[in-house]
Amino acid sequence: MINLAFTLIPSSIPSAEPRAPAAAQREVEDEDFLGKLVLWVRTRVRYRRALRALRQLDDRDLDDLGIARMDFPQLAWRHATGAEPLGWPRHA
What average pLDDT score do residues 33-52 get?
Answer: 93
Domain-embedded: residue 77: yes
Domain-embedded: residue 37: yes
> Over the stretch 44-83, which tens digit does the pLDDT of each residue have?
999 999 999 999 999 999 999 899 999 999 999 999 999 8
Categorize the per-residue pLDDT at 85 as very low, low, confident or very high, splitting at 50, 70 and 90.
confident
Domain-embedded: residue 7: no
DSSP reduced 3-state for 90: coil
Domain count, the chain: 1
**Predicted local confidence at residue 24, as pLDDT:** 52
